[in-house]
Structures are given as C-alpha cells and as structure tokens.
Amino acid sequence: MSHQSHSISQLEETDRQLRERCSGEQLRRLKEARSVYREEVIDSVRHCAWYRVSLFARWKQRGMYAACMWTVQLLLVLSKNDLVFSYVPESYLETLVDCFHVLRKSDPPFVPAGMFIKQGLTSFVTFVVTHFSDPRILSAELRDLLLQSISVLVQYKEFLATFECNQAAIHSLSTSLLSSFDNRSWISVTNILIRLCKGCGFGLSKHGESSSSSCVFQNLLREACLKDEELFSAFLNRLFNTLSWAMTEFSVSIREMQEKGQMIEFQQRKCSVIFDLSSNLARVLEFCTCEIPQAFLLGADTNLRRLVELVVFVLNHLTSVTDPEFFD
C-alpha cells in the first residue's frame, strides 16, 4: 500500500511537470518516467485487488474471526494452569494479535463496529491486560506486542469504553502499567497513561481533551498510587530519571543546532521526537502532581526537590534561546 501511494504521488508530480509545458529532452524524459510510474500504479492496483479477493474474502474473514475468538478463549483457560501455559507456542499469541488487528482494520469492516466490540473485544482485552506483564511469557518482544496492542486500542474512544467495563482491566491494569514503566517499555506505557489522563493539567480544557479521557482509569491510577506507596515511589523515581534524560538529550540537540547554525533534517527529526517524548513524560508527571500532591508536599523531600530542579532546568533552557523563532 505504501509503494502504491508513493507511485501515485510520483505520477501526479510528473503530470504536474508536464502541464508546465516542458520542451525538448526534458519533455521526452518526463513522458518516459510517466509511463513507468503509470505501469507501477496499475500493477499495484492489480495486486491490491488480488489480495482483497484471495486473502481478505468475506468467508476467510469469518474463519479468521472464529479462529481468533477460539484461540483467545483457549489461552485464557490454559493460562490458569502455570505448567500447561508455559508450553503454549509463542506463535499462538502472535497469530492472535495479528489476526485481531487485521479484523479490526479491515476495509470494508468485517462486522459492524458495535458487534465486533461486543462479541470479540472483551475476551481479547482480558487476555492482553492480564498477560502483557506476565513473567510466564519469556519473550520480551511478545510482551511488548501485547502492551502495544493496549496502546493502540485505548486511542479509540469506543475501544477505551470496553476497557472501562472490563473487570480484568479495572482490577489490574493500573498497577501493571506502573510496574511496567522500565527501560524497555516506558514509551508504550507513557502513551497509554497519556491517553488515560488527557484533560488533567494546565490549560487543557479549551482543547476539549477532557471528553476523550478516562475518569474511570484516572481514579484507578490515583487509588493504585495511594494504596501501594512503594510501587508509586519506584514509578515516580523512574519517571524523574527518564524525563531528566530526555530533557538533557533535547537541550544537547538544540545546542548542537545552534552552534552549527543550520537545520539538518536528521537533527530536526531527532529534536522533534525527543521533544514529544519529553512533553508526554512531563504530562504524566503533571498528572501525578495534580492528583497525588501529598507525594510531593508530605512525602520524601527528594520528590519536591527533583520537581523544582526539573522545572528550573526546563525554564532555563527553553527561555535562553537567542532566536525567538527557533522552535518554530
């Protein structure tokens, strides 16, 4: 699909250049290029049609849906027995996740969204929520795959509502997310926390984000942090460390661009990515300060001191840029 889009854009660009009434050798080359791009587009369209008929036929999607639902029910039963679950092939889990997302993104939809959510999503949500941090799954990549599935699903309001009604998610998701915030999974966990905590912070009400947040999980996160102080303290320490690293990397990248006096595309992309990560981490920290202020005001002095140091660091580096349009 990406190759097809690229070929179409090249064909459109060639047509635009031809309309500018080029002449001579340039016109001949453009016509030759247009012929090549046109053949590539035709070939890509034929492949897409073949895939749709051969691989995504309605009866095959029905079979995939049935296999997906059967597999997730089987895995939920097997996971109750540690000895048996340890022998489950990893391919079962990988196939389950892949099939589920293929059905979710099918175009046209395999079944109406309401039916898919009601009949297919609940069991899948139960499985991924209870197993993305399951130590019995030895493959870290496989656990990441389950965590990324949660990160994708909670971005959609209708899927988030299913998480809010799922007993397994209500019981264990908040605690599992806090404990999974480590050097490997912190980006995925941060993306999930940001989605759940939208609307909590300074100046966000005018953007209408509160309507897309989850009051249910905000309360559950708050309760989990207050109930297990040791877990929250460890999470907060890792959050401070990660945010400090991200902001330091961002300031170093900014300084390098200022010293070189030019915007290199790679450095711009790097700065953009690090800035987005830093902003997301800062918003998670902001949620903690707004919803659990006692951790900073009544808890260890270290938390309040690190918070002040972080604010001073950010203000010092972001307000010291000589060019006021630098971040634009």
- Cβ atoms within 10 Å of 151's Cβ, excluding its own: 20
For residue 143, CA distances in Å to 139, 230, 266, 313 come to 7, 24, 31, 35
Instruction: Give the chain's radius of gyration (CA, Å).
Output: 25
CA 174 to chain CA centroid, Å, is: 17
| The pLDDT of residue 210 | 46
Query: Is pLDDT of 166 > 60?
Result: yes
Query: Is pLDDT of 156 > 60?
Result: yes
pLDDT, tens digit (0-9, with 9 covering 90-100), for 266-294: 777 888 888 899 989 999 999 999 888 88
Query: Is pLDDT of 324 > 80?
Result: no
User: What is the mean predicted confidence (pLDDT) over 20-38?
Assistant: 76
Q: 174 with 193: CB under 8 angstroms?
A: no
Cα–Cα nearest to 218, from 242, 194, 245: 194
Cα–Cα nearest to 169, from 125, 211, 201, 132: 125
pLDDT, tens digit (0-9, with 9 covering 90-100), for 210-267: 446 788 999 999 999 999 989 999 999 999 999 999 988 888 887 777 776 666 677 7
